[in-house]
Structure 1
Amino acid sequence: MTTTLKPSSRLQSIDALRGAIMIIMALDHTRDFFHISATYFSPTDLTRTYPFLFFTRWITHFCAPVFTFTAGLGAFLWLQRGRTKTQLSRFLLTRGIWLIFLELTVMRLAYNFNFASRFPVLLLVMWELGGCMVALALLVQLPYPLLAAFSIAVIALHNLLDPINAASFGSYAGVWNVIHQPGAFIVHGLVIVVGYPLVPWIAVMSAGFCFGRVFLLEPARRQKIILATGCALTIAFIVLRAINLYGDPEKWSPQRSIIFTLLFFLNCTKYPPSLLYLLMTLGPALIVLALFGRHRFSTNNPIIVFGRVPLFYFIAHFYLIHLLSFLATWIRYGAQSYPILFSSPPAMGGPEKLFPADFGYPLWVVYAVWIFVVVSLYPLCRWFANIKATRTDWWLSYL
């Protein structure tokens, strides 16, 4: 296979897709901290939600699969720049451990604005990406055909594990929480909440790594394959979801209206991501990736800027959103708000009983704050993207 990549080249289409997802992601986290319903019910609870709120949450379902898949792509492209698989394994291992460390420290502070042991330790996206990188450090040593077969098999078949309950493992229940079933367990008095079990996310990242070989093809053929794959996955989602036999723990059924029936059809399981959830998100994402590949973006385009500094943006946007929530709560409730200022909202694991019954704001406020967050972060991320583009310090690859 002949490569068309230059050792120092970046693929704009991947940066653009990742950047677009970063912008969308900030909407969901803004909703967690600001929306009035976030304290009391999930926006995908069809007994209480409404279409606009549902789609505000649903569109962000694309974020974690795209993060994880493109991280695998990035690992493959990193390998093509004159490195060996041994060097790649070392990089993935150290970067994965670094991300897990950030989840337990920097992000824990971002969620709660304190390290008090009364708050649970949340193992969320950064933990998932870090854990998957540690696993990929071993998996990249496999031959590509074997790794591709493994990735597809795990993504397609992991829902067969759904009937296995963590409680059946007794004192080792936490191990199964880490592997496949979201849940909580206690370690030395700390409550550990696993939001993102590693299966099937590991397979999503390794699938991205294997799919990276497509980017060695000449551009026209590459775009055709990416587009065809995206269409095939999207069609597979529609067909399998319509058949309603396998692929998601919850079967859909006709609802009180056509629109709510559609919502139920789209309401696939994220924790852990079902086969149908991954088909529903990765299929359209690959279609967008193919379309982005046909365009040339300015280096100052926001989706390119954000896509080049995803970790920096991720951490910064969480702190900014929480800080804005902190200020809004203080202005609204004054001194009586002190108990909730240094706490994450219930949507992020905070204690619901601390929050006033009227806590939160209408959805239009969520969108206004979201836009403010994205616009505010652009100059900072552009500055850091320029640093990464002009310097070669080894530590920059960890940021």
Structure 2
Amino acid sequence: MNRITTIDVTRGLVMVIMALDHVRDLLHTSATTQDPTDLAVTTAPLFLTRWITHLCAPTFVFLSGMSAYLSVKKQQHSPSSRLFLLKRGLVLILLELTLVNFAFWFDIQFRTILLQVIYAIGGGLVVVSLLARLPVRWVGILGLVIIFGHNLLQAVPVPASHTARFVESLFFRVNVFQPSPSFALIVGYPLLPWLGIMLVGFAGGSLLDQPLVRRKQTLLRLGLASLGLFLLLRFINVYGDPVPWSVRKDTLFTMLSFINVTKYPPSLLYDLLMLGVALLLLSLADGADNAITRWLTVYGKVPMFYYIIHWYAVHLLMIAMILIQGYAWHDIRPGTMSFGRPAGAGVELGLVYLVWGGLVLALYPLCRWYGRYKASHPSAVLLRYI
């Protein structure tokens, strides 16, 4: 089995899971009024529906780092390989600001700009292109320092200057900037915390140089070690997440509090938990060849294509839902930080799951076609970026 297939299978799995979160975001009845991870108001099914999708972003970023390592190694650490990472990073940022943000809001005026995972991956690739000449071990150590230390930045006061606060948010802190009622910029994925994950992923790419049995064992041990450290630090309840766990109304909700780690920005405990699971998935996927892994690989080979297409599809499904429920076109009013969904529109969680399953299956032939088209046109420069 080609080693890169291990990445494709794992990435395909989290891409399938990711679509669930976005369908919930745009179609679920309480998506605009209720935080699914707020244990004071949520239900266990809703919490777990949101929580399982926490796996997606860190796995994407980690695997992007692994893929960057393989790309650099394939071209024998040549300047052209680093230049490609730089250009790919800039292209991803451009896509985030244009095609992706339009898919979010369907607003031709671009009254809201949301910097999410594609911004974080793009910015991370730009930095990796500069660090790729360093020994892999140094890159990995730098990533670990960021992962284990960036929670200390929570104690740093917010700058008073608007310009300084904006620059700081791009790198360190989640924030919303609204200079006027008709425009808002949301920094949802500040670069530094996600960069730590990508750098560790870049160093982790060297594991794929090992023989199959050895690397499966290494991935398994690293995954278990990450989860073990999460359990230890979370139980101590002192450092690693800005929100400590607490005893709740019953055992189930106490357990949910224990695993309710902070994503925005990703805390140390969030990283340990989610990357621990991701490493276990990589270990399971490595060397596996069956109907499920082949199915997941179809999605995993075309991540950017899937990401863009699925957002447009989900948004169109939201519009269809609104019209089917009796609202008129003029009731759909996208605006600043708004998808434009009328307050009463939405479906229950069970139907969210049905729509999600149908969407994933509907995207399969498109992803298979694009994957084959891309493979048959290796000289097409644009296809290397999408």
Query: For residues 174 and 207 of structure 2, what CA distance do their matches in structure 1 show?
Result: 33
Once the two structures are overlaid, the 10-residue window that deviates more, 265-274 or 168-177, is 168-177
* Residue pairs, 1:141-180, within 5 angstroms: 141-180=133-172
Q: Does 1:391 align with 2:374?
A: no
* Residue pairs, 1:93-132, within 5 angstroms: 93-117=86-110, 119-132=111-124
Partner SS for 1:20: helix
Query: For residues 373 and 250 of structure 1, what CA distance do their matches in structure 2 show?
Result: 35
Whether the 8 Å contact between 1:166 and 1:174 is mirrored in structure 2 is no
Corresponding residue for residue 54 of structure 1: 47
1:192-250: CA deviation from partner (whole Å, max 9, x where unpaired): 11000012111111111111111111111111111100010011111110010100011
Query: For residues 298 and 255 of structure 1, what CA distance do their matches in structure 2 show?
Result: 42
Pairwise CA RMSD: 2.0
- Match of 2:338, as an amino acid? G
- Match of 2:383, as an amino acid? L
Give 1:155 deviation, angstroms: 0.4
Corresponding residue for residue 332 of structure 1: 325
Q: What is the count of residue pairs matched by the alignment?
A: 384
* Residue pairs, 1:164-313, within 5 angstroms: 164-186=156-178, 190-297=183-290, 301-313=294-306
Once the two structures are overlaid, the 10-residue window that deviates more, 291-300 or 50-59, is 291-300
Query: For residues 214 and 89 of structure 1, what CA distance do their matches in structure 2 show?
Result: 20
TM-score (norm 2): 0.94
Q: Which residue, 12, 15, 20 being the options, matches 2:5?
A: 12
Give 1:342 deviation, angstroms: 4.1
Q: Which residue, 131, 134, 154 being the options, matches 2:126?
A: 134
Give 1:356 deviation, angstroms: 4.0
Query: For residues 82 and 160 of structure 2, what CA distance do their matches in structure 1 show?
Result: 34
Identity between Structure 1 and Structure 2 (%): 40
Query: For residues 149 and 109 of structure 1, what CA distance do their matches in structure 2 show?
Result: 37
Partner SS for 1:105: helix
Query: For residues 192 and 139 of structure 1, what CA distance do their matches in structure 2 show?
Result: 29
Q: Does 1:314 align with 2:307?
A: yes
Q: Which residue, 345, 349, 354 being the options, matches 1:363?
A: 349
Partner SS for 2:270: helix
Whether the 8 Å contact between 1:136 and 1:206 is mirrored in structure 2 is yes
Give 1:129 deviation, angstroms: 1.0
Query: For residues 298 and 391 of structure 1, what CA distance do their matches in structure 2 show?
Result: 26
Partner SS for 2:74: coil
Give 1:89 deviation, angstroms: 1.7
Whether the 8 Å contact between 2:72 and 2:82 is mirrored in structure 1 is no
Query: For residues 77 and 7 of structure 2, what CA distance do their matches in structure 1 show?
Result: 22
1:28-70: CA deviation from partner (whole Å, max 9, x where unpaired): 0000000011010110011110100000000000000000000
Structure 1, unpaired ranges of 5+: none
* Change in 2 beyond 3 A, CA 1:83/1:276: same
TM-score (norm 1): 0.92
Q: Does 1:350 align with 2:347?
A: no
